[in-house]
């Protein structure tokens, strides 16, 4: 029996519409020199398209 990779389940969320949501990295520290628009953009989640999803998750869901 294959187990689901916990790293993937923590980083991605599948919405009702089928889109896959993820959260940006680089938000924990080193924000002083960054612009306000960059910080607003990074705070929000983003979606992965179907093409990029297969590249990212290929082999990551099952270990």
Tell me the pLDDT tens digit for each residue of 9-61: 788 888 888 788 888 888 888 899 999 999 999 999 888 877 777 776 665 65
Range of the domain at 58: 1-25+34-63
- Note the residue count of the chain: 63
Instruction: Please tell me the total count of domains within the chain.
Output: 1
- Supply the DSSP symbol for 61: S
How far is the C-alpha of 49 from the C-alpha of 51, rounded, in Å?
Answer: 6
- Does residue 4 carry a pLDDT above 90? no
Q: In terms of DSSP H, where are the helices of 1-63?
A: 6-11, 36-43, 50-57
């Amino acid at each position: 029996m294959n187990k689901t990779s916990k790293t993937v389940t923590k980083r991605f969320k599948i919405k009702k519409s089928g889109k896959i949501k993820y959260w940006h990295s680089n938000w924990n520290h080193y924000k002083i020199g960054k612009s306000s628009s960059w910080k607003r953009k990074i705070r929000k989640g983003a979606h992965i398209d179907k093409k990029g999803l297969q590249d990212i998750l290929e082999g990551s869901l099952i270990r």
